Every structure is written in C-alpha cells, then in structure tokens.
Structure 1
Amino acid sequence: MTAGQTPLWLRRTVVAGLLGGLLLLGFVVMRPFLVAIAWAAIMAYVSWPLHLRVLARLGGRRTWAALVMTVMLTLVLGGSLLWLGLLLRSEGVAGVRAPVFWGAATATVALIPFGAPLIWGSIGAGIGLFVGPVILAILLALWREWDSVNADPQQAPTHPETL
C-alpha cells in the first residue's frame, strides 16, 4: 500500500454502508406500494391459468390475450367494488333514516352516548363523541325541514309521540 491510497477494508466498508443506505432508502420509498405490489402478485398468480386459456383461444396472440385479461379483471374487480360501495351507501342511508323514523326527539338523546362511539370509534373517543351527535343533529334538522315542506296536511301523523 502506498501513502496516497486508502486501505481496502475502509473502501469496502464505505461501499457496504452506501449500499445499505441505498437499500434502506429504497425500502422507505417503496413501503407505501408494498401492499399493492403484493396484491398484484397474488392476482397474477391466481389468474395465470385463465390467461393461458385465453392465450390458447386467441391463437397465441399475447397482446390481445393481455388486453382481454386486463379488461376482464377490471370489470370483475371494478364491478364488485362498485356493488359493495352501493350496498354500503344504502346501508348507511338506512342507518341514518332509522333513528329519525323511531321518534326524532328521543332518538337524538338516546343516540348521543351510543351512536358516536360506534360510528366514530376509529377516529377517537374525544372527537367521535363530538362529531357523531353533531352530524346526527344536522341530518335530523335537514330531515325535519324536508318533512315539513313535503308534509301532506291530510295525512295521518306517523310519529309515535303524536299517536
């Protein structure tokens, strides 16, 4: 070793440290995408036999087989997610309307301690105990206003308190 050169062990240590830092930074950048990459790998593995059938049916044309598989998977997954979203929306609307039909005055008081932790429990008890009743009160006020505008004077009362 001459006087101007760095020792071999030091160069290797610096290179190993830089590579380790590069791998760590690469993992930090890729961490938000790891779940999507895992799902993509699962979908590719599961749909591979179907892809082979489509490829054989299309006479070995890989581009067309890839297009058909992409469209099919998009329609199946997109349709399922759309159906699930519509189902959850209708359940959410039914969950908001049900307390209003049970009796507006008693529902607000009864649901303040119970509805907020169930609906907003994942956000936190402090915020949930405040936000849940506020949203319920706003929806209740909107429902009462809509109900009073669209009320038919000839119709019999349907609230339990007025029967």
Structure 2
Amino acid sequence: MAKLIKNRAFVENDKWHRVADDQPVNEYSIITLERWNTEHHDLQRFASAGKLGLWLSSEQTIEQFEGVFRNFGVIAIDFPKFTDGRGYSAARLLRERLEYSGEIRATGDVLIDQLFFMQRVGFDAFELRDDQDEAEALKAFTTFSNPYQGDVADQRPLFRRQARG
C-alpha cells in the first residue's frame, strides 16, 4: 500500500479508497471518470455529500470533466511514470483556472524528488511509491527555501515578494 502524505505528515488511516469499475461504490470511494459518466445518477448522493472522489489517468484532460469536477471531494491524478508531467498541468489548471478547493492527490509513480514541485502546482496529498523513504520525503517539501517563480499559493515572483513599499 502506498504511503500517503497530507499536510506534510504521513496519514495512517485514510478514509478515501479507490474502487475498480466493477466494485461497489460507497462513501469515500474514488472512481474513474468513465464510471461517473455512466452512473452519475446513482452516484450523485455520495457526490452531493462530498463523499465521492475522482481518479484521472494521465491521458484525461480537465476539459473532459470541467463541468462536473465540483462534485468530488478529492481528485486523484495518476502519474503512470515519474517522467510524465501532464498531472502537474492538470493540478495547476484545477487550482487556478477552475478554482477547485478540494483535495488534489498525486498517485502512481510518485517520487520524493517530485513533492516540492507538486505542492507548488496545487497538490496537497501524495501517495508515494512504496520504495520511497519516509524521513526523506518530509524533507523534500523544503527543498528550496525561496523559489524565484510564483506558485498556486502565491503567484508573485520572488522580486515582487521581496519588494518593499
């Protein structure tokens, strides 16, 4: 089972769980977009209560779920390999363009080296690959103390953040 980080701490018992398309859905299930598209009438009761999550593959774009994303308490974005950067774009667009305020979770091939950058684009939960060191993972959030570029939390570049007056 993947090691989950939320709020820069490891979580032992997470209420959210991913379900396959042929498994029953209950509270705090994370489902695929395809399942939502075919069963949304039956699943709306969980979504309305904030107790349904959405799992996105790297091939899916925010345009495919732009009209329904607010139905989900968590959006899990899959990284099939650590070199696939499409999830970064999806998270940033969710936060900035769509103003999604729920949890955005990185899943799949998530490495320690990515954590600092993932948080900057809007991820706030991270399912680490099993072989990643927990102590090193928590240090990764402070890899850089003062980045030059803005991020989703503060879009001002460094020179604007340091400007006086």
Give the structure, 1 or 2, with the largest relative contact order (CA under 8 Å, sep 6 or more). 2
Q: Which has the higher helix share?
A: 1
Q: Which has the higher strand share?
A: 2
**TM-score above 0.5:** no
Q: State TM-score, norm by structure 2.
A: 0.23
Computing the radius of gyration from Cα coordinates, the structure with the larger value is: 1
Q: State TM-score, norm by structure 1.
A: 0.23
